[in-house]
Each structure stands twice: as C-alpha cells, then as structure tokens.
Structure 1
Amino acid sequence: MANFVLVAGAWLGAWAWDDVVPELRAAGHGAHPLTLSGLAEKRGVPAGQQTHVHDIVAEVERLDLGDVILVGHSYSGIPAGQAAERIGDRLSRVVFVDANVPVDGESFVSVWPEGRPAVEASIAEHGGFWAPLTAADCAGQGLTDEQIARVVGGSTPHPGASLTEPAVLERPLSELPATYVKCLLDGDEPSPDVAKLLTSEHWRLETMDTGHWPMFSEPRRLARLLLAQPSH
C-alpha cells in the first residue's frame, strides 16, 4: 500500500483533491491531501517557503507514513521537492504535476522570469499576498465553466514570502526517484530546468492532454496515472 501525500499549487488547499482522493482510496491506498500554511482553512497563519516544506515533512511524520508518493502540483513542487529529500527512507517517489521544481538558492519568482514583475506587483498591492485566481486565468485549460467557478471560488490569497524565499536543497534533485507530469494544454514542453532533470535515470516523464489543473479537469485520469507509478 502506498501513501499519497497530495499538495495543490498556489491559492489552493486540500479541498482541491476531493475528486482524486476517493479513487486512490478505492484502490486500497492511503490518500492524505494537505493544506499548506496561510491557505484555505489555514488562512492567517504566517508562512514562507520553508514553512511549507515543514508542513509537508511534519504531516508525513505526524501520520507516521511510509511508502510515500509525494505529489506536488504547480507552485507546491518547490516545497515538495525539498520535503522529498528530507523524509528520507519514507519516500517512495515524488510526482511533480505540471509543477515548478526547486533550484537551490533560487525562489519561485527568480526562476519564473516571465511572470516575476506581475507576481511581485501583486504581492506589493495585496498586503504581502499573491492575488487569487480569476476566471480569465483558467481559460484554455480544459475546464468547464462549473469547474472554473469551483477553482476560483475556492482560491485564497497566496502568502508572498513563500514565492520570494529561496529553496534549500541538500543534494541534487536529479537523485530522487521522480515523475514529472506535463499537462499539454499548459505548454507542449517542460521548462528547461525540468528537461535537464529528465535526463536523469531516476526521472520519468508522463503527459496528460489537459490543462494546468488536472485534479479538476481530469481527476480520474490523474488518479490512474498516480496509481501506475513505480514504487522506486
């Protein structure tokens, strides 16, 4: 039995996995969606990027989980990638779902140059938070109007410090057993930093013909993909 620890991207919480969790549990596995500090039901909790890394590590330890398949979506690939190496032998695999990946000494905004000014401006204008998603942000991503309303309605402002703090890696990310899931409506090719990691013998690439939020647009297909992951 694997234990899936599921961490959604910016603005989202554990609720984002509501359509995926039943599929994983029905297959006999543990499924543990996690809300990061400062988001959803944890709004108001001060949070930087290392807070989010700690959130993930602490949840794995609190539940005493083994055979962990750690799933990081979008922004949360950055804390998940750092947490993956810190949980040691508890980790079976880390899965990055259309995600950013941590680069030692770099932040979310520093490795996302095309969006950096807009993100930093939003943080400055919204009291230290990245303003939540709008319906326009979700266009062209394979979502129905109902799904877009659900994503936007559940989004909360994202703690800005988590986007500007640098990642801390103790060893190369390429040494971790990892799968990268590229959602093709959000771009045909992985980013250059991910493409480099995919040259590692420990990494594999999967694709989904959907947009950036597959837990909403294709939850069953995403669950099947997660269930098909090798243990190491």
Structure 2
Amino acid sequence: MEILLIAGLWLDGTAWDDVVPALEALGHRPVPLTLPGQGDGSASATLDDQVAAVLAAVDSASEKTMVVGHSAACTLAWLAADLRPEKVARVALIGGFPNGDGQPYADFFPIQDGTMPFPGWGPFEGPDSADLDEEARRGFSSAAIPVPEAVARGTVRLTDERRFDVPVVLVCPEFTPAQAKEWVAAGELPELARVKHLDYVDIDSGHWPMVTRPVELAQLLAAATAEN
C-alpha cells in the first residue's frame, strides 16, 4: 500500500529517512512529504497550501492510500480524510490528535518575524524528549524549520462527515492507549470520539518515534494497513 508520511512542526520529509527503508522492506510504498513552508523555502505558505500539497499526494496515488500524520500534522491527515474520504483507506495519527472545525491549526508558540520557530527543549522536557540523546537534540534544533505564521494560525475547516467512516489508528508514544481512551471518553477529543473504527497501539518512545524507534514504527504502520 502507498503510505503518505506527514511530519509535524519544524520538520520536512527527511524526518522519515529511517522509516522509509523499513516500510519498503515490508512491501509498502512510503511517500514522505515536504510541506510548503517547511522545507521548500517559502515563508509565505499558508495552511491551505499545506492542505493542497497533501491532497495532491493523495490524488496522485494509483489506489487508496494510508495517510500518516505526526503531532500537529495529525490534523492535516484528518483533513485529507475529510476532503478525500473515498481515496483515504486509513488514517494513522502519531503522538497527536486532529483539531476540530474552526480551530487554529497549531497556534502553540510565539510568532517571531512572521514565523513560529522551534521554541527549544523547555516545553518538551519529560516524556516527550526523554529518549532523545544530546546529539539527537542538537541535530533536531539545528535542522528545525520555522513554521509560517499563516500555517500555524490557519483555521481548520472540516465539512464532510464521511471522514468518521475512515478507519483511524492512534499510535501512542509519550502517552499510553489507556490515557488516550480516557481523553476520548471525557470528551476532550471530539473528532476521535465520533470515529467509527478507532484502534490504539502503543510504542515505547517519546514524541518523535520516527527518530528513536523508526523500525518499530514502520512495523506498526505496516500492521495497520492490514487491519479491517
């Protein structure tokens, strides 16, 4: 199956460099996506530009595809299900949850000179980054791409309730499946609460398993493609 890989904030398609060969070895066709404004040199990109890039990748596939979103990009993966429910076979969400209609995409950190730069490791101390050594942290920080303001503060628009028919697998890294189930039951994740086929899988990692557990993550994603 073709598997579209969308990394979260400050990352481009190279974030999946260690996941891609592992997925290929398992017989899949991974397509890592570099988003407008996050690797193509365009600081003026908007959320609509990123959505359009995701849809172009979905539309170019010869068959239904699995769309994988990491962190904030879980919302991009969910937008693909909303806008192309007939072409998305499954959505995989890694370490994040889709925002609802009318919410900002990723207005999490201060904007500086029209972009949202990586804020440093302070906000991510604890389970998020516990499995990243100093070398990995330095590499991430030096390669981090500031996210355009019009992306971070863009408004999410969801229009097609057929998205809830698309199966979803939630990969739980710095939190557990039990915690995620509690959040869904408590009404904290309203989009996921309405998904008809929602599976939870655990991975023993921090927030960036594509860096620290790439082979295991590839195995989990491959397994998800075979689920009913």
Distance in 1 of aligned mates of 2:117 and 2:176: 20
Gaps of 5+ in 2: none
Is this contact kept in 2: 1:16–1:216, CA < 8 A?
Answer: yes
Whether 1:181 aligns to 2:176 is no
Distance in 1 of aligned mates of 2:189 and 2:157: 17
User: Which structure 2 residues correspond to residues 115-154 of structure 1 after superposition, within 5 A?
Assistant: 115=108, 119=109, 122-123=110-111, 126-140=112-126, 141=129, 142-154=131-143
Partner residue, 2:26: 27
Aligned amino acid, residue 88 of structure 1: P
- Deviation, 1:164, is 1.5
Partner residue, 1:81: 78
Distance in 2 of aligned mates of 1:88 and 1:20: 25
Give the TM-score, by structure 2 length.
0.85
Partner residue, 2:17: 18
Aligned amino acid, residue 156 of structure 2: A
Distance in 1 of aligned mates of 2:177 and 2:190: 13
- 1:224 corresponds to which of 201, 219, 228: 219
Aligned amino acid, residue 152 of structure 1: S
Percent identity, please. 28
User: Which structure 2 residues correspond to residues 21-100 of structure 1 after superposition, within 5 A?
Assistant: 21-40=20-39, 42-44=40-42, 46-61=44-59, 63-100=60-97
Is this contact kept in 1: 2:98–2:191, CA < 8 A?
Answer: no
Which deviates more, 73-82 or 196-205? Answer: 196-205
Which deviates more, 135-144 or 52-61? Answer: 135-144
State the number of aligned residues. 218
Is this contact kept in 1: 2:118–2:144, CA < 8 A?
Answer: yes
Gaps of 5+ in 1: none
Is this contact kept in 2: 1:186–1:211, CA < 8 A?
Answer: no
- 1:158 corresponds to which of 147, 160, 171: 147
Aligned amino acid, residue 95 of structure 1: A
Which deviates more, 82-91 or 218-227? Answer: 82-91
Distance in 2 of aligned mates of 1:9 and 1:109: 10
- Deviation, 1:199, is 6.3
- Deviation, 1:137, is 4.8
Aligned amino acid, residue 221 of structure 1: E
CA 152–74 in structure 1, closer or farther in 2 if over 3 Å, else same: same
Aligned amino acid, residue 162 of structure 1: V
